[in-house]
Structure 1
Amino acid sequence: MYRQGLGDCLLVRIPGQGRPFWMLVDCGLILGTQNAAAKIKEILADVTAVTGGRLDVLVVTHEHWDHVSGFVLAEAEFKALAIDAVWMAWTEDPKDKLATQLREEREEKLRKLAAFAGNLSARGLAGEPVVQGLSSVLDFFNMGFGAAGASTKDALVKARECLRGEKPVYWRPTDPPLVPPRAPCVRIYALGPPQDEKAIKKTFAKSEVYHLGGTGNPLFQADKRAMDPTGPWDAFCPFDQDVGVMLQPLLDRPQPSTVAPDPDPLRDFLERHYLDADPSLDTARGWRRIDTAWLGPAADFALALDSATNNTSLVLALELVESGKVILLAGDAQVGNWLSWHERTWPIEGRTVTGPELMARTVFYKVGHHGSHNATLQAKGLELMTSGDLVAFIPVDEAMARQKGWNQMPLPSLVKALKAQTQNRVLQADRDFEASSNPESQAFARSLVQTPLYFEYTIQM
């Protein structure tokens, strides 16, 4: 796992005939990362050196900037590689009717969201937490305002061009598993995305995801400094204390007057309970303002669009044929994608392999969507990974996530669950691994190679 920042890039080496079988899974950084091009080019220099300049497969999981920007930022370096195949999900197939419909819907909604965010900024609302959150979600797509005007769509075109005229392979979950001729020690399954519009648009399930601590969605955490920190919760407040937030006031505070105003009970009530928004005052009540509450649906809409795109992730399970161990590369799959794996079956050598069985034998899990709350399921996901040898890699940079306003990325409760399930064998890209006192964690540390550029872990066949 490369440690470039908030973005995915994994290099998988599988024993092959004559030389290793090399698979690069995604290559990107979130929009706004400093020195992004230099960081990506450093990765490509390493990839070129260790692979001898040749990849058997380039896997592109889905169309988000933090997964695909490298194909633009290091275009020349990718073109210099010899790449034998590019794998994408069926959702990127230009000949698939449902895929075309989903792409067109997404592009239309993105254009409207970008225009909406631009209009709000022009009206002086750019500082609103909801507007900032909306802009941060749009960064996953990059509408063409960064990286020399390139967009995620342009990045996919660059990835396809790596094949020099050959066509990508568009994986479907109904495809039979593949045993690469050069690497017969591995069997590769496509678990997702599901070929079902409803499943792709299912991005949340209250009983299945790891829940947020505190309040609200991490993408849209409002400033809570003005909440009354003392005494009982205000009886006038129509909301529970754990969801009260301050909205940035849009109206100027009344200027003091030298003339005493006439008594006005309504004005006095509003002053006491709504208009005093100065967080430094004991009487502050700005958190009760709802001036910009109408922006909430736009935030929800943006999140739904972002999650549905995550749900189009190509999810691969690499089964080591001899031992049955499984490497799970989940992209940024969310609820509908995960749930669909439970319906997957494949006839293999006189028996039936199922999606839940592959999860049960998983020894390596690339954690989805940088450890977000709805990209790893509980009972139908992580809790099924009971091999006893599980290791988890989280490609995340917490400082960058907080800069974007994603204050619970990775989600603490998910990280805690991962550590429990893996016996503390969890790697996070933005920090060196420190072993705990248990023997499993210490043995893992000894087997791990960690440099400022990458973590490397070897799974015994």
Structure 2
Amino acid sequence: MAHNSATAARMAQELAEGEILLPKKPTRVEIRMYCMGTGDCFGLKFYAGPERIFTMMIDCGSCVGDANDFRPYVENLATWIKHDAEPEGKNTSDPERWEGGVIDLLVVTHEHQDHVNGFAKCADIFEQLKIRQAWFAWTENPKDPSGTAQDLQHKRLRMREGFQKALNKVDDNRKAIEKENTQALAALESLFMGLETLGEINLDEKGSPPGKPLAGMVSIKKLVTNNPDTVVRYLSPGTSLSFPQLPDVKFHVLGPPLDKKYIYKDGREGKDVHKRHFSIGEGILAMNTFANLNSDEAYADLPFGREYVVDEKALTNADIKKAADNMQEYLKKVRTLLNAYNGVQESGQEDADDEKWRQIENEWLYTAGSLAIRLNSHINNTSLALAIETGKNGKVLLLPGDAEYGSWESWHMIEKWAGAGPNGKHFVEDLLNRTVFYKVSHHLSYNGTPLDKGIKLMSNPSLTTMVTLDRTRISSRWKTTMPNSPLLSELIERCEGRCIIMNENDIVNPPSDTVSLASLPDYAQHAPNKTAQVLWKQYTVRL
């Protein structure tokens, strides 16, 4: 195969010379997380002693940033891929690796901006690298024989198109509301901001046509499929693969699930996944209500405007008449709205554009939030999730993309792996028991790491985690759920503090309170200078 051409040529030469140097077993893996903002971009280098024998890359994206913001990180990544200390002896390494950048395996987990937009923003850099093999989830296969992938893709594009239209309409409506109508304006502003936040990762750049694949996914697929030297694979769960350069190392494909019910499935809070925690602002009304029972209401406790507060003891006949008149005026407006809905034009009624937001034809907009959340979870559950097993019954690296509960649950349902672990365990349970490195799914959100199907099975005392979360470079709306505090606390406890977060700024009770990463011999990080943003953080797993 094309991606093994250099290895095959070297072995043929050695055979002709009467000597074959068998591939060496890896002794360590360097895992580098690029800190370009909330989103995933990883590089992995496998070494046998001093010699690098395999290079892997996973995703390239961030919630925020333009091409200029991304460039320092991707340039550093390309340099890191190209350069290494070349071992002595011309027959001990792949010569192609030293002539230019070689990625033995590129993994693209799923089509969210924070995982793929870097491939478009820095396309010229990736064009200079040699990609020997590229893996995508089966859900990305344009020629899926079952037709399921095409159906999922079609639905995804339709949902994106509907989401974009709803976002545009909410934006128009909030601009049409008079500033004096503070309650209605605040409600639409809140809805718009929530939709815009989800749009950051689910929709393409502003100005792009709706209902199309994201530019980053289009860019990287075009690059690898148009290159005859790159082997492209679309992988299904239950598949195990290996490479000649990595003896005794297997790549096990866990997800995405083949059954669509798991792709669309959510976990139950407190039962399957950690409970969502809310910001103080979202829970303050209920908290104050219980704290102030039988007390006078405070204005801040009320869910409506001050002008609607009525003191029944102070009511006069004039107040009651005024309220009745207001009610008649309100009913008149309701009749006007119903007539407008039914197409009845009242005499003298003005059909002003700035009143259209009141009509109930726009009620469908308020389902847009559910649509956006469903779209987000559906795409997360199509993540290509991998477990890399280093040696039979050896250490495991867990790389799940942004898989949510539905995907994780499906891993335990893979029939061919039932009973394949020790003592009749399911093989996935065994892999989780042996996991020593976990790339935390979905940026430490409550539904990214399940309980019984996930974190509670990670019992290896050497467990270390990496978290792609930077609260200084993320929408404010995501901050209410990322990080999930109970999940972060549990990870810190299980890892004894070896929980490496992209940026600990604005993190309450961070892992560094438990252990200093600088004290870990296998940890490293780099910033161009003392005041600059950290470019990358790195952890080495000894095999």
Correspondence for 2:399: 329
Maintained 8 Å contact 1:370/1:396: yes
Q: By how many angstroms is 1:412 displaced?
A: 1.0
Q: 1:80 aligns with which of 124, 128, 142?
A: 128
1:399-414 equivalences in 2 (<5 Å): 399-414=472-487
Correspondence for 2:238: 174
| 1: CA distance, partners of 2:317 / 2:484 | 51
**Cα distance change of structure 1 residues 431 and 328 upon mapping to structure 2, 3 Å threshold:** same
Correspondence for 1:44: 74
Correspondence for 1:11: 43
1:190 aligns with 2:253: yes
CA-based RMSD:
3.8
Maintained 8 Å contact 2:157/2:211: no
Secondary structure of the structure 1 residue equivalent to 2:436:
strand
| 1: CA distance, partners of 2:103 / 2:139 | 23
Q: 1:358 aligns with which of 401, 425, 431?
A: 431
Letter of the aligned partner of 2:204 in structure 1?
M
Q: What are the Cα deviations for residues 64-87 of structure 1, in whole angstroms up to 9, with x where unaligned?
A: 000000110001001111111111
Q: 2:156 aligns with which of 106, 111, 127?
A: 106
Q: By how many angstroms is 1:405 displaced?
A: 4.5
Deviates more, 1:291-300 or 1:322-331: 291-300
1:305 aligns with 2:375: yes
1:161-240 equivalences in 2 (<5 Å): 161-163=222-224, 164-166=226-228, 168-175=232-239, 177-206=240-269, 207-214=271-278, 232-233=292-293
| 2: CA distance, partners of 1:307 / 1:386 | 27
Q: What are the Cα deviations for residues 402-421 of structure 1, in whole angstroms up to 9, with x where unaligned?
A: 52453221111111111111
**Cα distance change of structure 1 residues 229 and 60 upon mapping to structure 2, 3 Å threshold:** same
| 2: CA distance, partners of 1:429 / 1:445 | 16
Maintained 8 Å contact 1:392/1:427: yes
**Cα distance change of structure 1 residues 308 and 230 upon mapping to structure 2, 3 Å threshold:** closer
Q: What are the Cα deviations for residues 104-159 of structure 1, in whole angstroms up to 9, with x where unaligned?
A: 11111111111111111101158522221112112112234169999753321211
Q: What are the Cα deviations for residues 224-254 of structure 1, in whole angstroms up to 9, with x where unaligned?
A: 68996796258999xxxxxx9958x7x9999
TM-score by length of 1: 0.80
Correspondence for 1:264: 320
Secondary structure of the structure 1 residue equivalent to 2:40:
coil
**Cα distance change of structure 1 residues 442 and 71 upon mapping to structure 2, 3 Å threshold:** closer
Correspondence for 2:334: none
Maintained 8 Å contact 2:492/2:499: yes
| 2: CA distance, partners of 1:60 / 1:300 | 27
Secondary structure of the structure 2 residue equivalent to 1:128:
helix
**Cα distance change of structure 1 residues 348 and 434 upon mapping to structure 2, 3 Å threshold:** closer
Larger Rg: 2
**Cα distance change of structure 1 residues 149 and 380 upon mapping to structure 2, 3 Å threshold:** closer
Maintained 8 Å contact 1:224/1:246: no
Secondary structure of the structure 2 residue equivalent to 1:68:
helix
Q: By how many angstroms is 1:442 displaced?
A: 6.7
Per residue, is there more helix in 1 or in 2? 2
**Cα distance change of structure 1 residues 51 and 361 upon mapping to structure 2, 3 Å threshold:** same
TM-score by length of 2: 0.69
Q: By how many angstroms is 1:215 displaced?
A: 6.9
Q: By how many angstroms is 1:380 displaced?
A: 1.4
**Cα distance change of structure 1 residues 385 and 49 upon mapping to structure 2, 3 Å threshold:** same
| 1: CA distance, partners of 2:322 / 2:291 | 25
5+ residue gaps, structure 2, are 1-32, 83-100, 175-184, 310-315, 328-359, 527-533
Secondary structure of the structure 1 residue equivalent to 2:401:
coil
| 2: CA distance, partners of 1:350 / 1:380 | 15
Letter of the aligned partner of 2:163 in structure 1?
L
Correspondence for 2:540: 458
Correspondence for 1:137: 198
Q: What are the Cα deviations for residues 196-241 of structure 1, in whole angstroms up to 9, with x where unaligned?
A: 010100023231111112479xxxx86968996796258999xxxx
**Cα distance change of structure 1 residues 347 and 379 upon mapping to structure 2, 3 Å threshold:** closer
**Cα distance change of structure 1 residues 408 and 434 upon mapping to structure 2, 3 Å threshold:** closer
Correspondence for 1:277: none
Maintained 8 Å contact 1:227/1:246: no
Maintained 8 Å contact 1:186/1:320: yes
Maintained 8 Å contact 1:144/1:150: no
1:25 aligns with 2:58: yes
Secondary structure of the structure 2 residue equivalent to 1:263:
helix
Maintained 8 Å contact 2:81/2:102: yes
**Cα distance change of structure 1 residues 265 and 326 upon mapping to structure 2, 3 Å threshold:** farther
Letter of the aligned partner of 1:316 in structure 2?
L
Letter of the aligned partner of 2:153 in structure 1?
R
Secondary structure of the structure 1 residue equivalent to 2:521:
helix
Maintained 8 Å contact 2:160/2:210: no
Maintained 8 Å contact 1:222/1:245: no
1:95 aligns with 2:123: no
Secondary structure of the structure 1 residue equivalent to 2:388:
strand
| 1: CA distance, partners of 2:450 / 2:266 | 11
